[in-house]
Amino acid sequence: MAKYIYEYKNWPDFTWDDKAINALFGEVRLMQGKIIGQMNALGFSAKEEATLTTLTLDIVKSSEIEGELLNYDQVRSSIARRLGINTAGLVTSNRHIEGVVEMMLDATQRYNLPLTEKRLLGWHAALFPTGYSGPYEIKVGRYRKGEMQIVSGAMGKEKVHYEAVKPEMVKKEMDKFLNWFNNDHILDSVLKAAIAHFWFIIIHPFDDGNGRIGRAITDLLLACAESSGERFYSMSSQILIERKRYYEILQKVQHSKGDITEWLEWFLQCLKNAMLATENTTQKILQKAEFWKLHEQTSINERQRLMLNKLLDGFEGKLQTSKWAKIANTSTDTALRDIKDLIEKGVLKQTAEGGRNANYELVDFTGLPTSL
């Protein structure tokens, strides 16, 4: 059986080949600057919208990696409330979602505070407010006291993918990790994000939630790298897309003698892909900002604002009066009044089909297609 990286004498003195990662690292740093520049040109409300969308995606996708599906609107509402962002159609969210949001906002908005054991244990407690992970009771807000194996396969045919450090070593290993995290000010924060993610996952200090907390640590350091709690790209969304490769690389490098070049290459490439994906989102946000700027003097009620934002975010299917009534939680008569009012104001138009089930769409305001 091949030894694990933490079983070698030089653990945790990581090494890597600078030449192999330099070009990619430079590209990532350049792209970060470019995205921040683009966003700063957008103005306050568009930046706020971008941060809200990105943080929502990050939380939803980070949980999806673990096979858990969170309600997008509940997550978005919880973030908006906590950040004091005025957005129409807020919905209430459950304790679990509130906890996940609390952890992520603590990581990204308070990125300049030290990462202490107390803070990490607080994150863990926030992730599991009931003391259960699914049907299983787990030790919440403290390091694990049992062995930790990552296995797959049916009972009796399990395959062990990884065996984490012994439980009696967890506290000592985490002290070492946190000491490095808070006191190494020489290493660039982007590289530090990659190393911290890997190192934390190798220790696997908790009974559950290690992946989500590992990704929150990554987000904290990426916020440090940009000296900003504003988030414009989602690393977790990209990890979800590249999940298979993510696990393959972790499995491979967990047996290395300390050289983590391959892991750093994968991480930087994944980060670059996350930023490339953001360019499409930015386009949408730019459109949205342009729309609201155009209509800042137009009298629009809360229901109309909610529905127009839905359209601008990419509404699925055709917009009809019945859908408007259902989403805006109102009667069909009121929905029709809202729609007719927006048609009169030149915001909406009826599509060519007509008939009993009339469909509506935004009036083109950018030269870009707005048919939904």
Question: In this predicted model, what pLDDT tens digit does every residue of 246-275 receive, in sequence order?
Answer: 999 999 999 999 999 999 999 999 999 999
- Give the pLDDT band of residue 335 (cuts 50, 70, 90): very high
Q: What is the pLDDT of residue 244?
A: 95
- Please report which helix (H) or strand (E) contains residue 304, including its range: helix 302-314
For residues 39-61, average pLDDT = 88
For residues 280-289, average pLDDT = 77
DSSP state of 298: S
**In whole angstroms, how far apart are CA 238 and each of 33, 73, 117?**
19, 20, 28
The amino acid at 356: R
User: pTM, whole model, 2 decimals?
Assistant: 0.83
Q: Which residues contact 16 (CB under 8 A, 6 or more apart)?
A: 259, 260, 261, 264
- 286-327: pLDDT as tens digits: 788 788 888 989 999 999 999 998 898 877 788 899 999 999
- Please report which helix (H) or strand (E) contains residue 160, including its range: strand 159-163
Region of 302 (left: φ > 0; alpha: ψ -120 to 50; beta: rest) is alpha
Q: Is the pLDDT of residue 372 over 70?
A: no
Residue 338, phi then psi, degrees to nearest 5? -60, -45
Q: What is the pLDDT of residue 356?
A: 66
The token pair at 159 is: 């395959």
Write the CATH number of the domain with boundaries 5-287. Answer: 1.10.3290.10
Q: Is the pLDDT of residue 10 over 70?
A: yes
Q: What is the pLDDT of residue 292?
A: 84
Residues of the chain above pLDDT 90, percent: 74
Orientation of helix 210-226 relative to helix 189-203, angle to 10°: 170
Q: Which residues contact 134 (CB under 8 A, 6 or more apart)?
A: none
Specify the residue for token string 């350091």: 221
The fold of the 298-362 domain, in CATH, is Arc Repressor Mutant, subunit A (1.10.10)
For residues 60-71, average pLDDT = 95
- 84-119: pLDDT as tens digits: 987 767 789 999 999 999 999 999 999 999 999 999
Asked, as a colleague might, if the bond just before 12 is cis with ω within 30 of 0, I would say yes
SS3 label, residue 339: helix
Q: Is the pLDDT of residue 367 over 50?
A: no
Q: Is the pLDDT of residue 232 over 70?
A: yes
Domain positions in the chain: 5-287, 298-362
Q: What is the pLDDT of residue 88?
A: 66
Q: Which is higher by pLDDT, 234 or 372? A: 234
What's the number of CA atoms in the CB half-sphere (13 Å) around residue 164? 27
Q: Is the pLDDT of residue 239 over 80?
A: yes
Q: What are the DSSP calls for 227-289, one per residue?
A: T-S---S-HHHHHHHTHHHHHHHHHHHTTSSSB-HHHHHHHHHHHHHHHHHHHHHHHHHHHHH
For residues 146-158, average pLDDT = 87
- Give the pLDDT band of residue 370 (cuts 50, 70, 90): very low
Q: What is the pLDDT of residue 177?
A: 98
Q: Is the pLDDT of residue 161 over 80?
A: yes
Looking at every residue in the chain, the average pLDDT score rounds to 92
Q: Is the pLDDT of residue 371 over 50?
A: no
- Give the pLDDT band of residue 354 (cuts 50, 70, 90): low
Q: What is the pLDDT of residue 203?
A: 98
Q: What is the pLDDT of residue 30?
A: 96
DSSP collapsed to 3 states, 20-73: HHHHHHHHHHHHHHHHHHHHHCCCHHHHHHHHHHHHHHHHHHHHHHCCCCCCHH
Rounded Cα distance, 211 and 80, in Å? 24
Rounded Cα distance, 235 and 39, in Å? 18
The token pair at 224 is: 């440090």
Q: Is the pLDDT of residue 341 over 60?
A: yes
For residues 29-49, average pLDDT = 86
Q: What is the pLDDT of residue 284?
A: 78
214-246 burial: b if 16+ Cβ within 10 Å, else e: bbbbbbbbbbbbbebbbbbbbbbbbbbebeeeb
Q: What is the pLDDT of residue 338?
A: 96
The token pair at 333 is: 């008569």
